[in-house]
Amino acid sequence: MASDKPEGPDSQHHYQLPAAAEQRHHEPHRSSSVPHRDEVYGTQIKIFNSRRMSTSTANPYHRGEEAYYDWEHHRLAAKIEVQRGRVVQAHKDLAQQEALLDRAKADLKSLEMELQDNDIKHRDQRNGGATVLTDAPAKKAKRSAHDDDRDSGDKKGVREDPQALRGILSLPLHLSLYVTVGMLKLFCTIVLCALVARANAIGKRDTTFTWGIDKLRGVNIGGWLILEPFITPSIFERFPSEAGIVDEYTLCQHLGPQVARDTVLAPHWEAWVSRADFERIAGAGFNFVRVPVPFWAFDAFDTPYATGAAPYLDKAISWARDTGLKVLVDLHTAPRSQNGYDNSGQRMDTPGWGEGESVGQMLSVLHTVAAKYASAEFRDVVLGIELLNEPAGYTLDMNMVRQFYRNGWGEVREFGDTVVILQDAFNDAASFNGWMTPADGGVQGVAIDHHEYQVFELDMVKWSHEQHRRGVCDRAWKWEGADKWTFVGEWSAAMTDCAKWLNGYLRGARYDGTYLTTDYIGDCTQYNNISSWNQELRDATRAYVEAQINTFEAGTQGWVFWNFKTESAAEWDLFALLNAGLFPNAVAERQFKRVC
């Protein structure tokens, strides 16, 4: 989720463009304030790659077609061997489970036979101690009726007279054995049920997803490992405004990294997300979560940021695996900020990513992330790695961004074939056509992430409910027509920018004329309290949500809603919308007919 994104007739961005960058908004590629990539970025890449390209694992996609195909042949051959090993291990695991089940069945059968033998002995003793072989069926039926009456009386006696329990404890040995065997039978039944449950759980964890075939139906786990004022305003409101704390950078700068981590961040990391949240997401029909993580979770590079968030990403992946969800690891921030929005970690007028060592530092972080999450250990649950969220393509040098994407793809490919996600940098998805494809250096496994909001431009905020629904159809060209897998990785139910601090901490809203404009469209008060919504607004919100889901699924690989929950921003809160019946089950029948 971005903040302070630009407005304009052709812009789908979240927030107002910082004033310092306004005049550069329509420049297609580079800003005069950003050094050319040959001056800064190219030098970083040469140094960074020369350090590693001499290794045998380096991807030679840059060396020519013949070298690439030779490398690809050996890479695929190695992967085949790994996959064969997995198949063998899976067969072994299955054989072990089947052996356990067979053993449990055999034990159950043995105990049942033992119970039957002891039952016969007990009945024979009651009939005089001799086994009578003639007329066995008739006598067995007669004894069964007699025993049923006796059992009924015994149970009644136990219920009515507690002293009867002592009688059971003092039963003869053969009767005690009768009771014990019955308990063992119950135990074996429980064991069998547990094995079946475990098998079902294993099946759920092994839920598969195929890019290009299956649909992404996901939600973002935002405001967790990177703070956003509109998601958790209480964190920022505990400090006086004169402290100047407006993002995570200024929070850590003001308190110091250790104090910020110990008193604010770590308690928030522990409390904001739980396994129960993942269970609820899966239970609502979703199959996917996008987890934004900051670069400083892996290396703070002498910045004020507090480290320590990385283990929580592992926790999220574990919860996802246990609940049958897939994960996109989203690198949401870059050193010096890639867009100047508070969700990049640092709110600033002009993004500084691309200056100094910032691009090389980001590639170093990608190397660390890919080494772990693109490995075979996470292949069952991590569907993709997003190289960088929302680089400001309207002010950064897009040649620099594209080169970073190409090198970032190489970082991931060094460790596995996990799909690489490119955020479209506020361009339309088809603008990347013909680039980073199999015909372009043999690049494969690339997807485009497009973000779509209708509340960060004044003209859109003025739209009626019907215009918002129609706007979904009219803007479909933004995400359709790409030659790569494409999905809408951020969108919301919001038709206003009324959520508190949505445009930045201590900033107002366009809707009520308190931010960037004096035009008054309406009162923001009701929008943040979902219980106060009238039926018209409830129906309009549900219809708008369904219009987006239907359109995104028809034209892309799928969608990821922003966000799973907030403290007070109802239009952005999946759980609040689900509770109110304003968000459908992700795979359920819709209430409203298609708009497009």
Beta-strand pair 485-490/446-451: parallel
Amino acid at 50: S
Tokens 């706007």 correspond to what residue? Answer: 471
Nearest to 398 by CA among 443, 444, 431: 431
Q: Active-site residue 390, yes or no?
A: yes
Strands (E), 515-565: 558-561
Q: Are residues 484 and 440 in contact, defined by beta-carbon separation less than 8 angstroms?
A: no
Strand partners for 226:
none
Say which of 390, 452, 457, 571 is annotated catalytic: 390
Please report, for residues 96, 343, 446, the alpha-carbon distance to residue 440 in angstroms, rounded to integers and kept in the order given.
46, 33, 12
Q: Are 425 and 28 a contacting pair, CB within 8 Å?
A: no
Which entry of 248, 452, 457, 490 is annotated as an active-site residue?
490
- For helices 173-205 and 310-323, what crossing angle results, to 10°? 110
Contact status, residue 570 vs residue 576, Cβ threshold 8 Å: yes
Q: Where are the alpha helices (DSSP H) in 414-534?
A: 458-461, 465-474
Q: Give ∠ CA 370-371-377 in degrees, rounded to 5.
A: 100
Whether the CB-CB separation of 363 and 400 falls below 8 Å is answered with no
CA atoms 377, 378, 379, 381: torsion sign: positive
**Rg for the chain, CA atoms, rounded:** 31
Supply the DSSP string of 353-411, one letter for each residue.
Answer: BTBTTHHHHHHHHHHHHHHHHTSGGGTTTEEEEES-S---TTTS-HHHHHHHHHHHHHH
Positive or negative torsion for Cα 498, 503, 506, 510:
negative
In contact, 299 and 367? CB cutoff 8 Å: no
Distance between CA atoms of 344 and 336, rounded to whole angstroms?
9
Q: Is 490 a catalytic residue?
A: yes
- Distance between CA 40 and CA 320 in Å, rounded? 40
Length of the chain: 596
SS3 call for 558: strand
Q: The dihedral of CA 251, 255, 243, 350: what is its sign?
A: negative
- Residue 108: closest CA among 181, 46, 165, 209: 181
| Residues noted as catalytic | 390, 490
